[in-house]
Amino acid sequence: MTKDSNVTAANTTLLTAQEAADYLRIPIGSLYVRISKKQLPCTRLGRLLRFKKSELDRLLAANRSAVEEADPADTQKAV
């Protein structure tokens, strides 16, 4: 297997619903709520749901940058 095929295989890693919830560290119920609100990308294979790990990573990165850019003064007010 070449280096390029390893990268492709790693980018297409599919997770089950439970694995995705564990990876995101959220309850499985919250995962299903986010799916129903179309806040979480998934692929349906018949009755089964699968999640691309690369898409979950992208989602986490997008949310992380939004939090890091938040005004620290606003965070202090919430405490």
The domains found in the chain, sorted by start residue, are 14-70 (1.10.1660)
Q: Which residue bears the tokens 């095929």? A: 5
pLDDT tens digits, residue range 12-29? Answer: 799 999 999 999 999 999
Cα separation, 3 vs 18, in Å, equals 30
pLDDT tens digits, residue range 29-73? Answer: 999 999 999 999 999 999 999 999 999 999 999 888 666 666 666
